Chains A and B, each alone.
Chain A
Amino acid sequence: MANKIIFPLLLLSLVNFPIIKTYAETLTSQEIVNKMNDVINPQTAQAKAKITIITSSGKERTFIYDSFTKDRGEKNLIRYLEPKRAKGQAMLMLNNADDIWAYFPRTKRVRKLATHAKRQNWEGSDFSYEDMGSGDAFIDEYKNKLLGEEKKENYNCYKIELEKKKDSDAGYSRLIMWIIKDNFFPVAMNYYARKDPQFLKKVLIQYEIKDIDGVPTGMKMTMYNKTDNTQTSMELLEIKYNLDLDDSIFSERNLKK
């Protein structure tokens, strides 16, 4: 089974719907989370992104990939362009990543993976698939609570706590999110250990949030791993929204191209 797993929805936190008009101050935490969930799940997107991993020993690893997303993240295809050793590897995720197929060009083999493969880190990075809240995970797996309002990264934000539901299989006990009040974009997130709600494992910060073609977009983000003292940065090199992406893109046939 594959050891190297790729997770396209990393992109989704960088991809947004058009700026949402300012809302009244009386939104409930559930309404805020719902709107944030809409923001990070675009209808369609096509992007080229670059991942840079700084390891605990200070070494740097870089990955570049193409990504295609449709139906608010329900369909995803990602294909590595760099590094050379991973070039051509591709992953198809359908049904909000309940169905995953990986393609390995060295063996010309397509393999269906079980969903537990999402727990594997992405090419040694500090991200795992579920870090980014695939599909509606932030709504389905966690209950939410509004902690107040706070300034974060120079944005006025809602501070929301997401606590793992009892029957959830989520990898974290709780999350703290800072959601920009103006556009419901999650500018920062703290991840706490599954078994210790006080133990901060990772911190995600999004930078350079730009309005591109009317769409607020986080052009860069960094995940800081507080346990291993490592960090992974992601940068959008190209991004297009609201494209007419044919369903044939999200097929096993296209995976092998």
Chain B
Amino acid sequence: MKSDHDSFCILKIFIISLYLLLLPLHLYASKLDIYGYFQPQLTGTSSNDDFYQFSSNKLRIDFKCEYSKSVTFGANYNFIQYSGKTQWNMLEYIPTTISNAVPAAQTESYDILYEDDIILDNAYIKLSFKYADITMGKQQISLGTGYAWNPTDVFNYKDLLDPAYEQPGHNAYRIDFPINNKYSVLLIYSPENTSENSGKLISIKGKLGHFDYAFIGIEKEFLFTDYFTFDDTTQKRKILGGDFVGEFLGLGVWGEYAYNLIKDTDDFYESVTGIDYTFIGGTYIMCEYYRNTGGKDDYKKYDLNDWLQFITAQTKTISRDQIYASLTHPMTDLITAGTSVITSLNDGSLSLIPSFTYSLFENVDLSVFLNFNLGKKGTNYDRTLGDGGTARLQVYF
């Protein structure tokens, strides 16, 4: 945890930043919109016969100011405070067949510490011209049509317990060119220390019948940690892919594909195919198949790096082929219950995620997610990895 002095400094910097941020906006007070939410969250997890609790309080404050029809400023700060078990050892959450190989003296190196934080999550300005929208600054970027996985989204890593949760902002320059009602072009430049290792993206989007589709080309560097030596390396990838979404025989269908070309290493591809349907009465089902040839097809080949790079969101998967299936039903006008299942087709393991959402009051939602791992030892969803649950309240203002 940070010392009181550190916390005070952060608070001081924040207040000054906030003042500087709000000063020009104050001039446009009549057009300034301030909103956000408060989100207390409690997580419990069982591991090796122990039960731990971890809670967080997140306050998100959004600012949006429309100077004119052509100029929009948006930003948000996240204040996050953690309590309970804030220090975790990643080795406790991987199969013992792998973690036991780490010398006892080194286990502390695998600790993760959750520290209170104040983050300028987004801060961008959007300029709208007749033939283009230009967005500059830290901004959310959402790519692809998949629900649980997005092969073409090189900016974000989704949490499979809650794939629809908001993603953080990324520093980028974005230009959207709407060519006509059918076609548009998207350009993104995500600056790093040199132009060579900066992220570049071009996407051409179109419509065909009742389908939307896009072709995409990306160049981006990815950071990987070798968890045997703790050396960081970067890997530059060129990615070619595309996506589609539409309707076929009354079913919603979507797909996404990305071929990753990597210098000096084997290429691999990711693909997603999904379908969904809503029954009369509101029951909703969806199913998505994900293939990542960078993953392994035999769980006996999973190693320390596979596990820890996955846990730290440096890779999207451990096993090669997975299915995400979900069913939700509106139990009453305010309560929705559902269950999701994630299964690895390679090792036969699965994770069960029952969920429940309740609109407690106007602008107050309660969500509960449970998580049960049911796979055999050493597999992607090894039952010894522990079970858990999260209760989350969101109060919007």
Q: Which of A1, A53, A169 has the most chain B CB atoms closer than 10 A to its own CB?
A: A1
Chain B residues lying within 8 Å of A96, measured Cβ to Cβ, are: none
- Chain B nearest CB, measured from A88 CB (Å): 9
Main secondary structure of the interface of B (DSSP, over half): strand
Q: Which of B142, B279, B365, B397 has the most chain A CB atoms closer than 10 A to its own CB?
A: B142
Please tell me if the beta carbons of B247 and A115 are within 8 angstroms of each other in the complex.
Answer: yes
Main secondary structure of the interface of A (DSSP, over half): loop
Please tell me if the beta carbons of A120 and B362 are within 8 angstroms of each other in the complex.
Answer: no
Q: What is the interface size of chain A, counting residues whose CB is below 8 A from a CB of the partner?
A: 44
Beyond A83-B362, A111-B245, A251-B181, is A55–B142 a contact (Cβ under 8 Å)?
no
- Chain A nearest CB, measured from B301 CB (Å): 34
Within 8 A of B (CB), among A90-117: 98-99, 106-109, 111-117
- Tell me whether A194 is interfacial, beta carbon within 8 Å: yes
- Chain A nearest CB, measured from B393 CB (Å): 12
Please tell me if the beta carbons of A84 and B278 are within 8 angstroms of each other in the complex.
Answer: no
**A1, A3, A55: which contacts B334 (Cβ < 8 A)?**
A55
Please tell me if the beta carbons of B142 and A114 are within 8 angstroms of each other in the complex.
Answer: no
- For the A-B complex, the count of residue pairs with Cβ-Cβ distances under 8 Å equals 111
- Tell me whether B250 is interfacial, beta carbon within 8 Å: yes
- Scoring B residues 275 to 319 as 1 if CB is less than 8 Å from chain A, else 0, what string do you get? 011111110101000000000000000000000000000000000
- Scoring B residues 259 to 278 as 1 if CB is less than 8 Å from chain A, else 0, what string do you get? 00000000000000000111
Task: Tell me the nearest residue of chain B to A172, going by C-beta.
Answer: B280
**B284, B333, B361: which contacts A124 (Cβ < 8 A)?**
B333
Chain A residues lying within 8 Å of B167, measured Cβ to Cβ, are: 107
Task: Tell me the nearest residue of chain A to B250, going by C-beta.
Answer: A116
Chain A residues lying within 8 Å of B225, measured Cβ to Cβ, are: none
**A85, A87, A125: which contacts B365 (Cβ < 8 A)?**
A85
Question: For the complex, what is the distance from the CA of A101 to the CA of B363, rounded to whole Å?
Answer: 24
- Chain A nearest CB, measured from B114 CB (Å): 23
Beyond A99-B210, A108-B142, is A119–B278 a contact (Cβ under 8 Å)?
yes
- Tell me whether A197 is interfacial, beta carbon within 8 Å: no
Chain A residues lying within 8 Å of B361, measured Cβ to Cβ, are: 59
* Top 8 A-B pairs, shortest CB-CB distance: A114-B252, A85-B396, A84-B396, A109-B142, A108-B140, A114-B247, A116-B278, A124-B333
Q: Please give 10 more A-B residue pairs, beta carbons under 8 A apart, in addition to A112-B246, A114-B276, A120-B330.
A: A84-B35, A87-B35, A107-B166, A108-B141, A112-B145, A114-B251, A114-B277, A115-B247, A116-B250, A251-B181
Binding site for B on A (CB under 8 A): 1, 3, 53, 55-57, 59-62, 83-85, 87, 98-99, 106-109, 111-121, 124-126, 169, 171, 194, 228, 230, 247, 251-253, 257
